[in-house]
């Protein structure tokens, strides 16, 4: 048996891509039907062999039946693959690896139209096959052949989009009609299969599908493999349909929080809601209403919005009845507009007010706020009032987001309340911070000294910094750096404070969100804490949770990995998104440690005993046991919560099966957070600008654990090479004043010599 691990490279791993076109149908065959082979005849009755078509004729006939399958992920388009039409009512065949896991999928047909996939009609991971459904009724299916009747040496044609080249055809022969590849029956081909052909059809010389191109050989260019079409027929006969609202987890809005109205494509990433495509309402109107809470009267609603094009229109909707009636306050064409919509067409909406404002910043984030009382509507942009409108036609209903035409827009920080006005600052403190910044900008105070002043009130510090940055554009770069340091310094202090508590009192979820906040200043932690609380509430009172550790562990595993689709990241493992717990909650995809944090916190808040994080060397896992003593049984949360013995886990994380004893014991919450930060630090050290990228993570580790000897010495080296010998000397002096246990005499002497050299510079 050939080893696929050695011989083949999956086109999924190589970056698949393929073109679209459309297929011809066998004469007399109904769309999507599988032609039955004719009954066996005696030699005298057998018809003459079918005449082979030319490669040019086959290419022209099936070109209309080929499609491009587009897989989208966290960073946009993540893969392109081939496919072909199975039925005229919208069924498309492709490879399973082409569509990824929990990814948004689109299909581009030969007429250039891009269609959203509405359903994964059937899929089989082992056979690497999938059937997709799109909302089209005018497609031309390809006729299916019989792969059981293939003969060695039979001439074939393969179609696809190799290496991104538009529509390509190649001819070859069947090398072996039934080759066993790791237990799978595959067709071995003497034909070059390149990246991009994956999912494309393998055809006989009459234009019938014999298989789906799947693997290429790593040994030779002219050797490839295809999955037999008769395996695809099994999926057609017994589909396992999954609608896209269940297939998708990445970027999906929480239906308990947001309700889209009138179409458009709404998604969420890292706490930012994004919208694209026109809505179904008049003028491309679409809403996305906040369902977590309803406003009373009076109320205020606020959101920050950014348009991709100032000619567009997007902002706040309020007093919405869930249908066509609502108010809208939004920027459009460089002006601010307040509108009332009383129905579905141009005759039922009214522009109540429209005006330009120099408080609005084109191309940037702008904060919109409305205050609604019994008689008036007041509208603000970036804190400045632009309208005070006397209108009371609509009251009650929901608030949320609106957009118009083909606008693409982003929204963040949506909130409701009775008073959202930013509170006045302490003038004396503000003056003190301004003076401190002036000293810093004049070079009279150190960064550390001004940071101490700003950290007296981080929120006020942000406001004063922002004010000064706008006033002095020539100092913008210095102020931005200082603002980032302030933000990260505040996060580091807060994390250090929380993690200094006894382990049982530490809020692990809040700490994990603070790690995300460190890199994402716009993150609204409270939103995610509420979302996690909703997850806990779903399981409160669950009968299995109440039975004890083992039933509770089974229930938690089912809830996270089967019911809600949490899974380990395989397509973009190195993405920082996997280390940000808010994005793991959004996308339900993460690293072993971030998935473990969610599992552990659910167990903790539900009172499940004897569940802990197990810090194995290369894969963090969840451990559980019936009693407080004894060895942990393990769950590999990266693999859907798969149960493992310690011996099985050793095989995964260590080639020689040896792992330190301390790695099999329960991890303290502080160590879990430090491991999350060190994951980010490791990736930063691999960047092209390691001193700049890694510096904040070194600072964060040392804020939490000042005794982290290795990080302090490495930070000293980075400071030295980036032109900061004073900072490097400061780190080395600290090590000599607080020598760790592992620092031996030769190391101490080497650090002392290094410090003297730096001071000599």
Catalytic residues: 97, 128, 198
DSSP symbols for 634-676: EEEGGGTTEEE-HHHHHHHH-TTS---GGGGSPPPHHHHHHHH
Cα–Cα distance measured from residue 513 to residue 527, given in angstroms and rounded to the nearest whole number? 11
The CA distances from residue 136 to 23, 92, 269, in Å, are: 14, 11, 29
Pick from 310, 312, 343: which is nearest to 326 by CA? 343
Sign of the torsion angle spanned by Cα atoms 728, 497, 466, 332: positive
**Roughly how many angstroms between the first and final C-alpha of the chain, as a whole number?**
66
**Residue/partner pairs of 31-40 with CB below 8 Å, 24 or more apart:** 31/87, 31/88, 31/89, 31/141, 32/86, 32/87, 32/88, 32/89, 32/91, 32/141, 32/236, 34/144, 34/233, 34/236, 35/143, 35/144, 35/145, 35/146, 35/208, 37/146, 37/149
Pick from 148, 149, 167: which is nearest to 158 by CA? 167
Pick from 300, 340, 301, 304: which is nearest to 324 by CA? 340
Cα–Cα distance measured from residue 364 to residue 371, given in angstroms and rounded to the nearest whole number? 23
Angle at 604 between CA 598 and CA 606, to 5 degrees: 100
Which residues face 260 on adjacent strands?
288
What's the half-sphere exposure (Cβ side, CA atoms, 13 Å) at 121?
Answer: 22
Residue 526 burial (10 A CB sphere; 0-12, 13-18, 19+): exposed
Cα–Cα distance measured from residue 92 to residue 74, given in angstroms and rounded to the nearest whole number? 24
Angle at 331 between CA 326 and CA 337, to 5 degrees: 55
Angle at 135 between CA 133 and CA 141, to 5 degrees: 60
φ, ψ for residue 137, nearest 5 deg: -120, 10
Radius of gyration of the chain (CA): 31
User: Does the bond joining 459 to the residue before it have cis omega, within 30 degrees of 0?
Assistant: no
Return the percent helix, strand and coil in the chain, to nearest 5: 35, 30, 35
């Amino acid at each position: 048996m050939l080893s696929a691990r050695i011989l083949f490279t999956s086109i999924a791993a190589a970056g698949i891509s393929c073109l679209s076109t459309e297929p011809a149908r066998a004469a007399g065959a109904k769309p999507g039907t599988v032609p039955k082979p004719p009954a066996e005849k005696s030699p005298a009755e057998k018809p003459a062999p079918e005449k082979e078509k030319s490669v040019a004729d086959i290419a022209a006939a099936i070109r209309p039946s080929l499609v491009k399958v587009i897989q989208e992920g966290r960073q946009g388009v993540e893969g392109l693959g081939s496919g072909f039409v199975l039925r005229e009512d919208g069924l498309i065949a492709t490879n399973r690896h082409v569509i990824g896991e929990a990814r948004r999928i689109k299909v581009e047909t030969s007429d250039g139209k891009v269609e959203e996939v509405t359903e994964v009609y059937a899929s089989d991971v082992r056979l690497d096959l999938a059937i997709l459904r799109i909302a089209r009724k005018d497609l031309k299916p390809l006729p299916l052949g019989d792969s059981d009747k293939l003969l060695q040496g039979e001439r074939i044609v393969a179609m696809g989009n190799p290496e991104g080249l538009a529509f390509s055809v190649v001819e070859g022969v069947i090398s072996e009609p039934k080759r066993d590849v790791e237990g799978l029956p595959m067709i071995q081909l003497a034909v070059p299969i390149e990246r991009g052909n994956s999912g494309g059809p393998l055809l006989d010389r009459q234009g019938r599908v014999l298989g789906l191109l799947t693997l290429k050989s790593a040994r030779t260019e002219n050797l490839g493999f295809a999955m037999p079409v008769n395996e695809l027929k099994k999926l057609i006969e017994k589909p396992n349909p999954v609608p896209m609202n269940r297939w998708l987890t990445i970027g999906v809005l929480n239906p308990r929080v947001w309700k889209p109205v009138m179409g458009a494509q709404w998604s969420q990433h890292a706490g930012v809601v994004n919208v694209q495509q026109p809505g179904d309402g008049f003028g491309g109107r679409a809403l996305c209403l906040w369902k977590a809470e309803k406003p009373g009267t009076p109320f205020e609603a606020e959101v920050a919005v950014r348009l991709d094009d100032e000619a567009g229109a997007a902002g706040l909707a309020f007093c919405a009845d869930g249908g066509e009636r609502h108010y809208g306050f939004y920027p459009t064409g460089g002006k601010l507009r307040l509108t009332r919509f009383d129905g579905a067409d141009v005759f039922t909406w009214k522009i109540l007010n429209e005006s330009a404002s120099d408080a609005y910043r084109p191309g940037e984030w702008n904060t919109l706020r409305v205050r609604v009382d019994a008689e008036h509507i007041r509208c603000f942009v970036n804190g400045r009032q632009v309208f005070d409108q006397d209108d009371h036609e609509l009251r009650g209903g929901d608030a949320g987001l609106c957009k118009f035409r083909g606008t693409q827009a982003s929204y963040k920080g949506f909130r409701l309340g009775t008073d959202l006005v930013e509170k006045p600052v302490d003038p004396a403190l503000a003056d003190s911070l301004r003076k401190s910044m002036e000293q810093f900008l004049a070079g009279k105070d150190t960064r550390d000294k001004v940071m101490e002043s700003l950290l007296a009130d981080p929120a006020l510090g942000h406001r004063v910094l922002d004010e000064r940055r706008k006033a002095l554009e020539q100092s913008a770069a210095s102020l931005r750096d200082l603002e980032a340091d302030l933000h990260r310094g505040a996060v580091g202090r807060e994390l250090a404070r929380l993690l200094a508590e006894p382990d049982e009192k530490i809020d692990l979820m809040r700490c994990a969100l603070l790690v995300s906040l460190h890199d994402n200043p716009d993150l609204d932690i409270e939103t995610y804490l509420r979302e996690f609380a909703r997850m806990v509430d779903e399981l409160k009172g669950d009968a299995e949770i109440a039975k004890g550790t083992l039933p509770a562990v089974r229930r938690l595993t089912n809830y996270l990995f089967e019911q809600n689709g949490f899974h380990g990241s395989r397509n973009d493992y190195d993405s920082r998104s996997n280390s940000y717990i808010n994005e793991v909650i959004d996308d339900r995809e993460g690293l072993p440690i971030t998935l473990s944090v969610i599992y552990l916190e659910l167990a903790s808040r539900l009172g499940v005993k004897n569940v802990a994080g197990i810090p194995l060397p290369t894969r963090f896992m969840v451990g559980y046991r019936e009693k407080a003593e004894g060895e942990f049984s393990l769950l590999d949360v990266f693999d859907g919560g798969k149960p493992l013995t310690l011996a099985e886990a050793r095989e995964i994380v260590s080639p020689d099966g040896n792992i330190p004893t301390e790695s099999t014991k329960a991890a303290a919450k502080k160590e879990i957070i430090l491991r999350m930060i060190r994951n980010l630090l490791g990736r930063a050290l691999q960047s092209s600008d390691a001193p700049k990228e890694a510096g904040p993570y070194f600072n964060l580790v040392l804020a939490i654990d000042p005794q982290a000897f290795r990080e302090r010495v490495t930070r000293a080296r980075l400071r030295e090479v980036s032109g900061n010998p004073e900072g490097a000397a400061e780190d080395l002096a600290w090590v000599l004043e607080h020598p760790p246990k592992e620092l031996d005499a030769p190391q101490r002497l080497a650090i002392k010599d290094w410090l003297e050299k730096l001071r000599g510079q």
